[in-house]
Amino acid sequence: MKLTKNIVSIVTDVILNESEAIKNLVNHINDDFQHIIDAILSCKGRVVITGIGKSAIIGNKIVATLNSTGTPALFMHAADAIHGDLGMIQGGDVVICISKSGNTPEIKVLVPLIKNRGTILIGMVGNVDSYLAVQSDYVLNVTVEREACPNNLAPTTSTTATLVMGDALAVALLECRNFSSEDFAQLHPGGALGKQLYLRVNDVYTANEKPMVAPDATVKDVILEISSKRLGAAAVVDSAGILQGIITDGDLRRMLNAHDSFKQLCAADIMTKAPKTIDADEFAASAMLLMQSKNITQLIVMKNENFAGFIHIHDLLKEGIV
């Protein structure tokens, strides 16, 4: 089938259509948004989101975003609600009903049942003159001028606008709850994202060897220590346990370039002073960022201001910290 329009032009039109609709959402924000935030923050139950069709799909995503940012939420399909699932709504819940038209038969049946339960009803709707909008306590206006679909039929721009409004709601609630990265980590313990938010250097480095030499150690002793511990470096620590420097494979190569003989040299002569270190209680992700910024592969770990060991970039890659 021969296309009558250039693909790049089609894609560009869709993106511009949807981005313009998102931009226009700011014109729909009014006092109702503040009232909705207040209602959700003060409710004793959960946010119950309902809808049908594409609105149901978007509703499920909004529920997931709310749950992951500190606002307990669940999804109730509008069609199933009138066949028993209405029991999911408990006293103290807030209900958000999503509908582009606000006039679908399922919504018209469901709305009175929700209101009879004494629940605050929020309409997230694309038609502010619709049955849902009129019956709602508060309205989130997600009206769009037209869909990206050339026939103005397939839910495209309207679902994007609804999704963005849901994100705006979740982030506003997150800010009001002072939801921190530590709180986020508690709800996202799995995968690389979770590890970035909770895994600390102390959880990783202790499995490694602890290569270290005295400042007066011979170069031969330094090489043997680095080779046997397989971390590509050794810490230089004096008799009082105070860190003096670090010797890496790179320091050894530079020594060979600078000296014809190293028999008279000791660790203090070839070490790098003031090495990069990280506290054992720091996040492992911070160790990765420091290594990347300094273009190095290991860091000395400090605990209570004392040398504790090494953390290597391979440790972090193995943990999925990227």
Name 306's bridge partners: 303
Cα–Cα nearest to 81, from 45, 112, 46, 122? 112
Token duo for residue 192: 């690389």
What gap in Å lies between CA 44 and CA 119, rounded to an integer? 11
**Is 77 annotated to bind ligand?**
yes
CB 113 within 8 A of CB 86: yes
CB 160 within 8 A of CB 37: no
- Reading phi first (left if > 0) and then psi (alpha if -120 to 50, else beta), residue 214 is in beta
E-strand spans in 70-132? Answer: 73-77, 94-99, 120-125
Longest dimension (CA), the chain: 92
| Residue numbering of the annotated binding site | 77
| Residue numbering of the annotated binding site for Zn(2+) | 77
